[in-house]
A and B are shown apart, each in its own frame.
Chain A
Amino acid sequence: AQSVSQHNHHVILSEAASLELGCNYSYGGTVNLFWYVQYPGQHLQLLLKYFSGDPLVKGIKGFEAEFIKSKFSFNLRKPSVQWSDTAEYFCAVNAGYGGATNKLIFGTGTLLAVQP
């Protein structure tokens, strides 16, 4: 069965620090990969997604993620975080077929706190 691991459960950074959140998945076939963000009191929002092509994916709010197939990883990065990036971040992998995106398997989430 597919699974997703997020190694950092809680990250505390100062503003302007660089961010990298780890995500590894277990599945040998074709995958679609996602990062979602949940700001305090808000619903899950899509940050970025990877289906195919350039393994370096750029998303909203300055986030990017790199798909490294050999490492089964899809780490999220941002060069300089802001206080407004304080949120919980979820990595997800599709469990669909033929590239379908409908059934997502989520990691346990990483709670990011950015100190001003």
Chain B
Amino acid sequence: SAVISQKPSRDICQRGTSLTIQCQVDSQVTMMFWYRQQPRQSLTLIATANQGSEATYESGFVIDKFPISRPNLTFSTLTVSNMSPEDSSIYLCSVELGNTIYFGEGSWLTVV
């Protein structure tokens, strides 16, 4: 299994600001993923982050709004830029290891 740590676990942010979420995993993994879970909704994949290449974004998500870094095989960051109340959500980091997807505990962002 994989142990995934996310920081911050929760934060309250002012609209118009940006916040970077960090994700650290205890194993080297090729693929890391960022999901969003909006209130009373399911999880939606934002992007796939591979080390050494640009992240691949899903429909409806763009790099300018959600820039991602993947500097090595155990770490990734997701930035939520120019936040609005609609960005209030739980952001989850996940990794694939042994054909199974593991999730971090999530970062709960509230934009006011």
Q: How large is the interface on A (under 10, 10 to 19, 20 to 34, 35 or more residues)?
A: 20 to 34
Measured CA separation A42–B103 after assembly (Å): 10
Contact A44 B103 (CB under 8 A): yes
Is residue A90 within 8 Å, beta carbon to beta carbon, of the partner chain? yes
A-B interface pairs (CB < 8 A), number: 45
The total of chain B residues at the interface (CB under 8 A) is 19
Closest to A9 in B: B40
Contact A103 B48 (CB under 8 A): yes
Tell me whether B104 and A101 are in contact (CB under 8 A).
no
Given A43-B105, A43-B106, are A101 and B42 neighbors across the interface (CB < 8 Å)?
A: no
B100 interface contact, C-beta 8 A: yes
- Tell whether A106 is near chain B: CB-to-CB under 8 Å: yes
Q: Is the CB of A103 within 8 A of B45?
A: yes
Neighbouring A residues of B99 by C-beta, 8 Å:
49, 51, 101
Residues in chain B near residue A108, CB distance under 8 A: 41-42
Say yes or no for A46: interface residue by CB 8 A criterion.
yes
8 Å CB interface, B35-63 against A: 41-45, 48
List B residues 79-112 near A (Cβ within 8 Å).
Answer: 92, 96, 99-106
For the complex, give the distance between the alpha carbons of A104 and B96 in Å.
11
C-alpha spacing A101/B100, complex, angstroms: 7
Whether a CB of chain A sits under 8 angstroms from the CB of B31 is yes
Is there an interface contact between A102 and B42, defined as CB atoms closer than 8 Å?
A: no
Interface residues of B (CB under 8 A from A): 4, 31, 33, 41-45, 48, 92, 96, 99-106
Besides A102-B33, A102-B101, 7 new A-B residue pairs in contact (Cβ under 8 A), listed by A number: A36-B103, A43-B106, A102-B48, A103-B33, A106-B44, A107-B42, A108-B42
A-B contact pairs, 29 of them (CB 8 A): A36-B103, A43-B4, A43-B92, A43-B103, A43-B104, A43-B106, A44-B43, A44-B92, A44-B103, A45-B103, A46-B100, A46-B101, A46-B102, A49-B100, A90-B42, A92-B43, A101-B96, A101-B100, A101-B101, A102-B48, A103-B33, A104-B43, A106-B42, A106-B43, A106-B44, A107-B42, A108-B41, A108-B42, A109-B42
